[in-house]
Amino acid sequence: MQQLALILLLLSSLCSHISALHYLESGQCPLLIPSSLSTKSTDQLSKKRRPNLITIAHRGASFSLPEHSLPAYRLALELGTDYIEPDLVATKDGKLIAVHNIDLNITTNIQNVYPDRNKIIEIDGQEISGYFAFDFTLEELSTIRVKQRIQGRSTAFDYQFPIPSLGDILDLLHDWNYNVHPIQNQTKRAGIYVELKYPNYYMDQNVSLADILIEEMKQHDHADEMFFNTKNQTKFGCEERDSYQVPPLVVQSFHSETLHRLSTQFLHYEMALPPFVLLVTEKNCHMPTFWYDVGRLGFLSGVGPDKECLLGDGGQEFMIKSKTFDLAVHPWTTRAEVVFVDSSYATAEDELRWLYCIRGINGMFTENVDLGVIAGIRGCDDFMTAEELFEEDITEVEEKVGGGLNGTISKKICGEGENGNGALRTFGSMATGIAIGILMSFFFSWKFGGGRKGNDEIPSSGISMKTIHRGKMKGMQTLSTADSDLEMEII
Across 284-288, average pLDDT: 95
Q: Is the pLDDT of residue 207 over 50?
A: yes
Share above pLDDT 90 across residues of the chain, in percent, rounded to a whole number: 63
Across 350-365, average pLDDT: 97
CB 309 within 8 A of CB 271: no
Across 53-82, average pLDDT: 98
CA-CA-CA-CA dihedral for 32, 36, 41, 43, to nearest 10: -140
Closest-CA residue to 341 (of 471, 459, 254): 471
Across 419-444, average pLDDT: 53
Q: Is the pLDDT of residue 422 over 90?
A: no
The mean-pLDDT minimum among 262-266, 317-321, 400-404 falls in: 400-404
Give the pLDDT band (50/70/90) at residue 456.
very low
Q: Is the pLDDT of residue 460 over 50?
A: no
Write down the pLDDT at residue 5.
47
pLDDT digits (tens, 9 = 90+) for 135-192: 999 999 999 999 999 999 999 999 999 999 999 999 999 999 999 988 876 778 999 9
DSSP 18-31: HHHHHHHHHTPPPS
Across 433-455, average pLDDT: 50
Give the pLDDT band (50/70/90) at residue 414.
very low
**CB proximity list for 343: less than 8 A, separation 6 or greater:** 466, 471, 472, 473, 474
Q: Is the pLDDT of residue 15 over 70?
A: no
Give the pLDDT band (50/70/90) at residue 403.
low
Write down the pLDDT at residue 235.
84
Q: Is the pLDDT of residue 458 over 50?
A: no
Closest-CA residue to 336 (of 371, 374, 378): 371
E strands within 124-235?
Answer: 126-130, 191-196
Write down the pLDDT at residue 434.
61
The mean-pLDDT minimum among 39-43, 312-316, 381-385, 461-465 falls in: 461-465
Closest-CA residue to 348 (of 63, 42, 157): 63
Give the pLDDT band (50/70/90) at residue 241.
confident
The mean-pLDDT minimum among 195-204, 287-296, 379-388, 440-449 falls in: 440-449
SS (H, E, C) 347-385: CHHHHHHHHHHHHCCCEEEECCHHHHHHHHHHCCCCCCC
User: Is the model more confident about 50 or about 453?
Assistant: 50
Across 117-128, average pLDDT: 91
Inter-CA distances, 68 with 85, 86, 149, 164, 173, Å: 8, 6, 11, 7, 14
Q: Is the pLDDT of residue 470 over 90?
A: no
The mean-pLDDT minimum among 34-48, 320-334, 426-440 falls in: 426-440
Bond into 107 cis (ω within 30): no
Q: Is the pLDDT of residue 123 over 80?
A: yes
Q: Computed over its alpha carbons, how large is the radius of gyration of the chain?
A: 26
CB 130 within 8 A of CB 104: yes
Across 318-343, average pLDDT: 97
Pairwise CA distance, residues 447 & 380, whole Å? 26
The top-scoring range by mean pLDDT among 31-35, 70-74, 272-276 is 70-74
Q: Count the helix, strand and coil residues of the chain and give each as a percent rounded to the nearest 5.
A: 45, 15, 40
Q: Is the pLDDT of residue 77 over 90?
A: yes
The mean-pLDDT minimum among 10-24, 101-115, 197-211 falls in: 10-24
Q: Is the pLDDT of residue 298 over 70?
A: yes
Write down the pLDDT at residue 475.
36
Write down the pLDDT at residue 473.
38
Across 13-21, average pLDDT: 43
pLDDT digits (tens, 9 = 90+) for 89-121: 999 999 999 999 999 999 999 999 999 999 999
Q: Name the maximum alpha-carbon separation found in the chain.
A: 91
Mean pLDDT of the chain: 82
Confidence (pTM): 0.77
Give the pLDDT band (50/70/90) at residue 234.
confident
Closest-CA residue to 277 (of 289, 293, 265): 293
User: Is the model more confident about 353 or about 238?
Assistant: 353
Give the pLDDT band (50/70/90) at residue 68.
very high
Write down the pLDDT at residue 237.
86
Q: Is the pLDDT of residue 64 over 90?
A: yes
CB 102 within 8 A of CB 89: yes
Q: Is the pLDDT of residue 484 over 70?
A: no
